[in-house]
Chains A and B, each alone.
Chain A
Amino acid sequence: MEIFAAFLVSVLVYASPLALGALGGLASERSGVVNIALEGKMLTAACCAALAGQATGSVFLAVLSGVAGAVGASLLHAWLTQSFGIDHVISGMGINAIAIGATGYAADAAPILRSDSPVPTPEWWVWAAGGLFLAVAFHVFLQTSRGGLRLLAVGSDPDKARTSGLSPEMIRWKALAAAGVFCGLAGAMIAGTAGSFTKEMSAGRGYIALAALILGGWKPLPTLAWCLLFSLFNSLQIIFQGQGALGSLIPSEAFQAMPYVATLAALAFVVKSSRAPAGLGKP
């Protein structure tokens, strides 16, 4: 029973930042902005949370600073895509490179990141419950509220939305700010559960979040379900690794590659392009 509880906790601890990151991707992609920069935004948040948290010891300041860092990166994304009209993929790659560079720089140059005091963080269940609440709230927001419907309208046909008096640019600025908040929470939790910041510690979770988003058909609740499934496999992989015979039967790399293989297979055989927001990537 205790082992099962520990297993469940490990699933939820892994799933929470994944789900938060995927929600960030949802907010931006449903408004029409391709977001391959989730990884960079989460990494930025983890670094900012660790810097503020280890310097002050305050949980609140750690989370706030993580959110501020990711919102900053996300607003840069909005500025580049909406004001300059730079391609979403190019700007996303650029932001990822800057995030890896800047946080790597901080890891080398800021002694506070090597201090013995761990990054302060709320309990894991606060994160898990918060992630679940935000996913449901975001689902309700998209389906019922005026703002949510506008976001969907801008994402599915920016030109039509423009003729009916909406400003796609303005709405996407807001959507990207929201994406920054979600990624900020995800990054703050990643640094908090690890206890300290290490280089490139997001370790591809921004991309797994993107995978969950695509497999979930750009809908909050199915996306959440995929995050949980990926986390389940991640925890199974860690258990399998410890078992000699079982571990050699299914290599841990196969488990690690699973989200990516599933997404590729879905793109090839299941997902029709029509499920993606129709205005994705359009000015």
Chain B
Amino acid sequence: VKGSWSWRHAVLTLGAFLVVAAAIQASGVPGADLTTGFLRVVTTGGGWRNVLAKTTPLLLGGLAVYAALRAGLFNIGAEGQMVMGGLASAAVYLALPSPLGLFLGLIAGCAAGGLWAFPAGWIKAYRGGHEVISTIMLNWIGRFLSVYIVTGVLADPTDPSATTREIPPAALLPNVLELGAFRVNASLIIALVAMIAVTVWLTRTVSGYEVEAVGAAPKAAEAGGVLVKKVTVQAMTISGALCGLAGAMLVAGVDRRFYPDLAGGAGFDSLGVALLAVGSPLLTLPAALLFAFIDVSTSGLSLAGLPKGLSSLLLGLVILVFAAYRFQRRKG
């Protein structure tokens, strides 16, 4: 929705800048340290490796939220769907530590993520319950279920914290490129393929066109013969499956084990990634890179004394300022 900008936007944008500047100033970290900290992320192989590792779940989660948004659905449940995907995949990797187990684990992750989103789609389509509420509830249920399972049947007996055993190397996703400290894991390639697949789905297929139609005008779509309820459930489930894949690849490509904090807020940041990707699913890639860069550089700087909360504060403000420009009320 395009509208006119107003003095309010200037106040909000300036306010957000001032808050971040004041927070950085108050931390007492010298400016030179900040600059070298940020530069280290973009000029070293290790820095890029971390950014790309962080980009992968954000890209898939962002795509998932984006696809659901096109159908008019807010998937706030990305976090829980990533957790369930990671949990299911870890169970498969551990039971079958081989390349076949890796393949089946990734599929199990998709299935578990989809299963964890399906109730939200069903409740929205057939019961009229808001998907925001149901996905919030599913996030918490998934969290407690995963804690129960990794402190019970899947617990690592040698580790007192809630975690599974380490996944054997045979079931891990390999690096496709290693140049010193710079590494690219296969999970990023899979995520990029998923991005292209989602783009083709939404822009080049009948099914994707139906999703867009339901999101833009459900009543008109219904009148035009689109099965709105079916498309709603479908879009939500596919969104969940993408998040489940993200969780499965976090286990097999990054953490090598499952623990309840696996997603680490990536599911919530995915909403911001999807909002920033205005107009094209391909734009989830630069948005995910931006969020990953903010996350990696601020957590690196926390060693230099920058309080950890800054990253979350910054991302929240980015979302709000961006939404103020993007989602304006229609006048009249």
In the complex the two chains form, is B312's CB within 8 Å of A97's CB?
yes
The answer on a CB contact under 8 Å between A91 and B313 is no
* A interface, CB within 8 angstroms of B: 34, 36, 80, 83-87, 89-91, 93-109, 204, 207, 210-211, 214, 251, 253-254, 256-257, 260-261, 263-264, 267-269, 271-273, 276, 283
The answer for the CA separation of A260 and B310 in the assembled complex, in Å, is 30
Once bound together, how far apart are the Cα atoms of A68 and B137, in whole Å? 29
Given A90-B319, A102-B313, A267-B123, CB of A84 within 8 Å of CB of B141:
no
Give Cα distance in the complex from A264 to B127, angstroms.
11
Smallest CB–CB gap between B300 and chain A, Å? 15
Is B328 within 8 A of A101, CB to CB?
no
CB neighbors of A among B117-154 (8 A): 119, 122-123, 127-130, 132-134, 136-138, 140-141, 144-145, 147-148, 152
Given contacts A84-B8, A105-B310, contact A207 B140 (CB under 8 A): yes
Q: How far is the CA of A263 from the CA of B135 in the complex (A)?
A: 11
When the two chains form their complex, are residues A105 and B12 in contact, meaning their CB atoms are under 8 A apart? no
Report the Cα distance A93→B77, complex, angstroms. 12
12 CB contacts below 8 A, A to B, read A36-B136, A84-B329, A85-B329, A87-B323, A101-B309, A104-B308, A207-B136, A207-B137, A260-B144, A267-B133, A267-B137, A268-B122
Given A93-B271, A251-B148: A214 in contact with B140 (beta carbons within 8 A): no
Q: How far is the CA of A253 from the CA of B327 in the complex (A)?
A: 39
Interface residue? B314 (CB, 8 A): yes
With contacts A84-B329, A85-B329 known, is A97 near B268, CB below 8 A? yes
CB of B307 closer than 8 Å to a CB of A = yes
A123 and B137 alpha carbons, distance in the complex (Å): 32
- Which B18-49 residues sit within 8 Å CB-CB of chain A? 23, 26-27
Complex contact A89–B323 (CB within 8 A):
no
B residues less than 8 Å from A257 (CB atoms)? 140-141, 144-145
Q: Given A260-B140, A273-B127, is A105 in contact with B309 using a C-beta cutoff of 8 Å?
A: yes
In the complex the two chains form, what is the Cα distance from A97 to B136 in whole Å?
A: 15
In the bound assembly, the distance between CA atoms of A96 and B145 in angstroms comes to: 24
| Residues on A with beta carbons closer than 8 Å to the beta carbon of B129 | 267-268, 271, 273
Rounded to whole Å, the gap between the CB of A131 and the closest CB of chain B is: 23
Judge whether B320 is part of the interface by a CB distance below 8 angstroms: yes
What is the interface of chain B, defined by CB distance below 8 A to chain A? 8-9, 12, 23, 26-27, 74, 76, 119, 122-123, 127-130, 132-134, 136-138, 140-141, 144-145, 147-148, 152, 268, 271, 275, 307-317, 319-320, 323-324, 327-329
Partner of A261, one of B130, B141, B271: B141
Other-chain residue from A109, A214, A264 in contact with B307 (beta carbon distance below 8 A)? A109
Closest to A271 in B: B129
**Contact A210–B133 (Cβ < 8 Å):** yes
User: Contacts A207-B136, A268-B119; is A83 near B313 (CB within 8 Å)?
Assistant: no
A25 to B100, CA, bound (A): 49
Residues of B within 8 A of A268 (CB): 119, 122-123, 127, 129
Contact B133 A80 (CB under 8 A): no
**B315: chain A residues within 8 A (beta carbon):** 97, 101
Chain B residues, Cβ within 8 Å of A83: 8
Q: How far, in angstroms, from A36 to B129 measured CA to CA in the complex?
A: 15
- Residues on A with C-beta less than 8 A from B9 are 84
Distance in angstroms from B216 CB to nearest chain A CB is 16
Which has the most chain B C-beta neighbours within 10 Å: A85, A106, A256? A85
Instruction: List A contacts of B309 (CB < 8 A).
Output: 100-108
| CA–CA, A257 and B27, complex, Å | 38
- Is the pair B271, A253 in contact by a Cβ cutoff of 8 Å? no
Q: Given A80-B320, A94-B320, A108 and B147 touching (CB < 8 A)?
A: no
A89 touches B132 (CB 8 A): yes
A residues near B275, Cβ cutoff 8 Å: 90
A253-B147, A264-B119, A271-B129 are contacts. A101–B319 as well, Cβ < 8 Å?
A: no
| List of A residues within 8 angstroms of B136 by Cβ | 36, 207, 210
Kindly name the residue among A95, A257, A261 whose own CB sees the greatest number of chain B CB atoms within 10 A: A257
* B137–A211 CB distance below 8 A: yes
CB-CB nearest 4 A-B residue pairs: A85-B329, A101-B313, A104-B309, A273-B128
Task: Decide: A214 and B133 in contact? CB cutoff 8 A.
Answer: yes
User: When A85-B327, A256-B144 are in contact, do A98 and B313 touch as well, CB less than 8 Å?
Assistant: yes
Task: For residue A260, give the distance in angstroms from its CB to the closest CB of chain B.
Answer: 4
The CA of A261 and the CA of B148, in the complex, are separated in Å by 15
B26: A residues at CB distance < 8 A: 109
Contact B134 A267 (CB under 8 A): yes
Give the shortest distance, in Å, between B44 (CB) and chain A (any CB): 26
- State in angstroms the CA–CA spacing of A97 and B323 once bound together: 14
- Complex Cα spacing A257 to B122, Å: 21
Give the Cβ gap from B147 to chain A, nearest Cβ, in Å.
5
Name the distance in Å between A34's Cβ and chain B's nearest Cβ.
7
Instruction: Give 5 new A-B contacts, CB below 8 A, not counting A90-B275, A254-B148, A271-B129.
Output: A97-B316, A104-B307, A105-B23, A108-B309, A268-B129
